[in-house]
Amino acid sequence: MAKRKPWWIELPVMAAVGLAIALLIKTCLFQVFSIPSGSMENTLKVGDRVAVDKLSPLFGWEPAAGDKIVFRDPGGWLPPEPERGAFAKGLSFVGLLPPAGDEYLVKRVIATGGQTIACAGTTLTVDGHPVAEPYLHPGDDSCAGLDFGPVTVPAGYVWVEGDHRSDSADSRYHRDGPAGGAVPVADVVGPVRAVVWPLF
């Protein structure tokens, strides 16, 4: 029987293997993001940690209406991020927080490239058809007092809105941007697959 190595040798080896596995998961499989605001309530709550699938986009997945997605700030949607401490930087390195300096948002896809979206009164339509939205925050309706459209989403882009429609600065509020409020699919990290924290 081979002699077991001392703990002071085994411990760093196990830590290195664990770090390598965490980096592999972060790079190729899943990444954890924290929900910073109430814009997706009650589907996702402030402080929830969500696992985002980074593998599916490598195999042809594309955002579809109804998907919850995480995407990089396409420009000017978020205020500057405060400086992180050493602990937060470490969590970012292994994928338990988003990368420092890269600002991310989570919203729901409402329409995709080539579709035309509009909202009037309390009714949201895509290509002229009303959209049922059972996920909306209690007390909200689809327009939440902001009529707009019709807007045609450019090819290669998605139109995103928060489930807490009255508390979400989403595509509707960035219609003066380069793509009329739409988000480039190239900026999408992946779909939200699960809430990993809290457990219950």
* CB-CB contact of 137 with 42 (8 Å): yes
Residue 92 designated active-site = no
SS3 184: strand
Catalytic residue among 26, 39, 142, 171: 39
* CB-CB contact of 166 with 137 (8 Å): yes
Q: Which residues, in sequence order, are bridge partners of residue 69?
A: 107, 191
- Listed in sequence order, the residues at least 6 apart from 31 whose beta carbon sits closer than 8 Å to its beta carbon are 51, 52, 54, 95, 98, 189, 190
* CB-CB contact of 164 with 25 (8 Å): no
Residue 56 designated active-site = no
Catalytic residue among 54, 68, 107, 142: 107
**CB neighbour burial string for 70-89, b if at least 16 within 10 angstroms, e if fewer:** bbbebeebeeeeeeeeeeee
CA-to-CA distance for 28 and 39, rounded, in angstroms? 28
* CB-CB contact of 70 with 102 (8 Å): no
Residues recognised as catalytic: 39, 107
